[in-house]
Amino acid sequence: MPERFSILVGKKPVRSYVVACLALFRGGAKEIGVRARGRAISKAVSVVEVLRHRFLSDAQIKNINVRTEQTQPRDRLTPLDVGRIEITLVR
């Protein structure tokens, strides 16, 4: 089993991503990256906090990477800046 996995947070409820992270950690993963873009950034932070405070008190934040990407939507002539975050958890 690989040592590092990534969970991409989107439109599902926070609970779905928490369960996915729990399954990966209980399956033997040592490190998980919780990633999100745009409006889902706050949901990714909620996933990490629920996971740390309610289920895995020994999980620690190893790294937080924040950056901006430029995307070209089909319906716009100018590029759009979209924020991105990746929170790395280790256990």
Exposure pattern of 7-30 as b/e (b: 16+ CB <10 Å)?
A: bebeeeebeebbebbeebbeeebe
Residue type, position 25, single letter: F
**What is residue 2's predicted lDDT score, i.e. its pLDDT?**
61
Give the residue ranges of DSSP H helices in the chain. Answer: 14-26, 41-50
Alpha-carbon span 37 to 43, nearest angstrom: 10
pLDDT along the chain (91 residues), means of 10: 81 96 92 95 96 93 94 85 95 86
**What is residue 68's predicted lDDT score, i.e. its pLDDT?**
94
**What is residue 88's predicted lDDT score, i.e. its pLDDT?**
96
Strands, E assignment, 1-91 = 4-8, 31-37, 60-71, 80-90
For the chain, the structural domain boundaries read 4-90
The fold of the 4-90 domain, in CATH, is Translation Initiation Factor IF3 (3.30.110)
